[in-house]
Structure 1
Amino acid sequence: IIHTMPFWDEIIIEVSSEYPDISLRKVLIDALAAEMVQRPHEFDVVVASNLFGDILSDLAAATVGSLGVAASANLNPERLFPSMFEPVHGSAPDIAGRGIANPVAAIWSGAMMLDHLGHPEIADRIMQSVESSLLDPATRTADLQGTADTAGVTDAILEGLEQR
């Protein structure tokens, strides 16, 4: 992977020239990881290779408290090929079927997909319901120091949607 990094840098510089209103700052991965922990509020978008992006997305999820609330998107801005939306945590087979998974990241990923597909009003309603459920300690899973199970959190989010 180290041998492909110069090629990655060349492509990033080439593509960034097509977007003059967006500033490009190249940072080594170890320094970027430290910056994300120290000053997470300074980052809106990070463009990274799959390996580094995966590492940084897990780090960012831990910074906000849990992999269970971190959604991700791999976007194709030209829309020539499909984009992909998924929770950062992956399939979590170690807890499958136990009712302890936090569904927020999966629901948030779905909301991001709806927004990307041109349904921002539905995505906003979903996110408002997710945010409301996270404010209530009774509808948080154990990863967020709560006692709710997967179904309980999902039900609370669905109830919030019905009220909107």
Structure 2
Amino acid sequence: MNGWVLSGVVALLLVSHWAAYEHGRSVELAQAGQKSAKRDSGDRLAEVIGERAARQEEHRRADAQQEVRVKGHEERTIADAGAVNADAAGQRLRDEAGKLAASVSCPGTDTSAVARGEAATRAAMVLSDLLTRADARAGELAKAYDQARIAGDLCEASYNALIK
């Protein structure tokens, strides 16, 4: 019976040590879980703050982009109005050149004077046509330049708004 008692005592000791070990492990796991939860809540708080800052930055950039678009629209409107005024002035110039070319002639009975007058009229018409084409081309180039300049300025402003 001594053997049974001794083996029972050994078994009881083993079970009590095993229970103490498991209890210690569960306490450690609970403490680690609490630390992890605190760390996770701290991480979540930092994540929320980071998201809020990112949203604010996104709104700032969107507002800056909208300001750039509005400014670009205003600049295009001004450039278009200037182009309309320049076209009107160019048309008046072409009309006057056409009138001048049509009025150049030498009426008279002298055939050599009439021939010179016809040559002068043709030369004036050629110059008037040249002026008309040059003015039209200058208008096209000015419009293209204005559009390119405005687009470049908008691109630069947009970029600057994004990197600030």
| Same-fold call, TM cutoff 0.5 | no
Which TM-score applies when normalising by structure 1?
A: 0.20
Query: Which gives a bigger RCO, structure 1 or 2 (Cα 8 Å, sep 6+)?
Result: 2
- Higher helix share goes to which structure? 2
Q: Which structure would you say has the larger Rg? A: 2
TM-score norm. by structure 2 comes to: 0.20
